[in-house]
Amino acid sequence: MYYLELMRYRNCAMAGLAAVIGGFIAYSAAQGQLIWLLPVFFTVFLITGAGNAINDYFDAGIDAINRPDRPIPSGRITKESAYKFSIALFAAGAIISCFIGTSRFPFFIAAFNCLLLYFYAFSLKRKVFVGNLSVAYLTGSTFLFGGAAFGEKGIEITLVLFFLSMLATLAREIVKAIEDIEGDRKEGASTLPIRIGEEPSAYVACTFGILAVILSPLPYLMNLFNESYLYIVGIADALFIYAVVLILKKNPSASSKFFKIAMFFALLAFIAGSILKNKFL
């Protein structure tokens, strides 16, 4: 159970589901087999878990200040065990990706993401904006990975979901950096809030959040989803706007929470829009 906690299995499941949604949308317009969505889910689940585990390994010092209840700083899992576990998960995810689809796209994306997750945890997360951008790409790439199971056309179809997810994630990552500024400063990290200040960083986060709201109708306008998407994404947009208001009121903890809830509703909108669009209900 401690290792599932280290993986943050709920986040892994959500990432895997996002990849399946991307694959499901691509399946409706590209040639392929629906059964490919099963290894798509497990690949993303394992690699996301590996990324979370290796991140906790390198961040044990920061987590001792910001997240002392996590498995490593609390002493429930040793750093060495966490490291070996993460490498095993990376390897398993990369191997499974070799058997997805008829092209090499899934493997290339999986292999690249494994390397990026490792180096993000090792050093990139402490670089100004580069760390935030890396996480935003990795989150959005789950949709691309699902589309990649159905070749180049599948990737083209899921690009808009990748872009929207990147914007929303980028906003939340900057808010989280504001929330964690004390521990990051003690560890010598060079995050955006540390470099330019909390208030300017909050405005940057708001810009990305509002941009995601403005562009949220795009999947419907591109005929990827039906009207049900608009109804649910409207809830997500309202939550995004509230999260923006909270960060402007200098409440990063609550803002981060509402950004996460908003992203969950956006995922629900993708699910409802894609299922009903393709008449699977």
pLDDT digit string (tens) for the chain, length 281 residues: 788 989 999 999 989 999 998 998 888 766 667 888 999 999 999 999 999 999 999 988 777 777 788 888 888 889 999 999 999 999 999 999 999 987 899 999 999 999 999 999 998 877 778 888 999 999 999 999 999 998 888 898 889 999 999 999 999 999 988 988 877 777 677 788 888 988 999 999 999 999 999 999 999 998 888 888 999 999 999 999 999 999 999 898 899 999 999 998 998 898 888 765 554 44
Rounded to a whole number of angstroms, the CA Rg of the chain reads: 18
Q: What pLDDT was estimated at residue 180?
A: 82
Neighbours of 279 (CB within 10 A): 8
Contact indicator for 106, 43 with CB cutoff of 8 Å = yes
- Among 27, 81, 22, smallest CA distance to 53 is for 81
Closest alpha carbon to 19 in 166, 162, 120: 162
Torsion angle of C-alpha atoms 185, 208, 134, 234, degrees rounded to 10? 120
Nearest Cα to Cα of residue 138 among 252, 11, 255 = 11
**CB burial readout 176-202, b (16+ within 10 A) else e:** bbbbbbebbeeeebebbbbeeebeebb
CA torsion, points 231, 167, 19, 149, in degrees to nearest 10? 120
* Residue 148 belongs to domain with CATH number: 1.10.357.140
Domain extent for 105: 2-277
In one-letter notation, the amino acid at residue 7 is M
Helix (H) or strand (E) run with residue 176 in it: helix 151-179
The tally of domains found in the chain comes to 1
Instruction: Say if residue 83 is exposed, middle or buried (CB neighbours under 10 Å; 0-12, 13-18, 19+).
Output: middle
CA 5, distance to chain mean position in Å, is: 17
Q: What is the pLDDT of residue 239?
A: 96
Query: For residue 83, what are the contacts with CB-CB under 8 A and spacing of at least 6?
Result: 53, 54, 57
DSSP string, 81-144: HHHHHHHHHHHHHHHHHTTSSSSSHHHHHHHHHHHHHHHHHHTGGGSTTHHHHHHHHHHHHHHH
At 213, the amino acid letter reads: V
